[in-house]
Structure 1
């Protein structure tokens, strides 16, 4: 190597003049395990318990579904906290709909049927606006709030 280049490089790492100590570069090692440990200690403080034998968790958000296959599920009913950990997959609702229908109970199937009717009433290219959300939905013909309240079992 050229002596001048070498001297220029050696001079660049000095903090002072000739004979002074070279600058030491501190390597910053940040471990990701500290975040996980803090999370686990917080969850332990809340008092979450593991729920075994859950094969699949689906989280619905608008028209996408976040799906966890064989997740680790923990819950604390008192703290109203659910923890789902695992590797998520983001999919469209239309792709998962046939498989999800088989898992729904009779109550949820009725809700799904009502949602499907709402989507059929809406034009295919039409997008719901904020104004549509502000409107009060119309009552089902023949039903009143008083009749529904009287039919509900009191516990």
Structure 2
């Protein structure tokens, strides 16, 4: 019937009927591709569920680990050992067996000779021995002699392959017979 003055919407008294093909085309079964994709997602997210069916899908939350507490414990142990700060050290180089160097620039160095404890803290970089040459030569010991020979052979090989022929002067152009004649043109 027509809308009444009391209600804002119109509601039919009888259920609506549609021709047979309309509702089937609107509400249809998903295609096989969509069904396969849904099955894959279902299988993939089954492992995430913590409880049974209907429970929340949450993984275990890891606690945030603060390294401040570790640093405080370390400082307390160092204080107990009686380490003293050593000022004026510009750099520290630690040579590894693999031939790399752990390089500290302006580190904080602390030592306790009685406890045989040395602490080097600060920003470190892993560098190759070649990167620190030639300033590091006076720090090299006999155990790094083989690494130094290997580096020298590498430099000699690269310099030998890049050596120009003595007959070729690429940076001097041919001007002609007389320079003054060419400049007067």
Give the alignment's TM-score, normalised by structure 2: 0.43
Give matches, 1:13-92, under 5 Å: 28-62=63-97, 63-92=99-128
Aligned-pair CA distance for 1:112: 4.9
1:12 match:
55
How far apart, in 2, do the equivalents of 1:97 and 1:80 lie?
A: 31
Over the residues paired in the alignment, what is the CA RMSD in angstroms? 3.4
Larger Rg: 2
Aligned-pair CA distance for 1:116: 5.2
Q: Deviations over 1:24-54 (max 9, x none)?
A: x988343221100110011111111000111
How far apart, in 2, do the equivalents of 1:83 and 1:52 lie?
A: 13
Aligned-pair CA distance for 1:81: 1.0
Q: Which of 1 and 2 has higher RCO (CA within 8 Å, sep 6+)?
A: 1
Pairs aligned (count): 95
Give the alignment's TM-score, normalised by structure 1: 0.51
Structure 2: give runs of 5+ residues left out of the alignment: 1-53, 155-185
2:133 match:
97
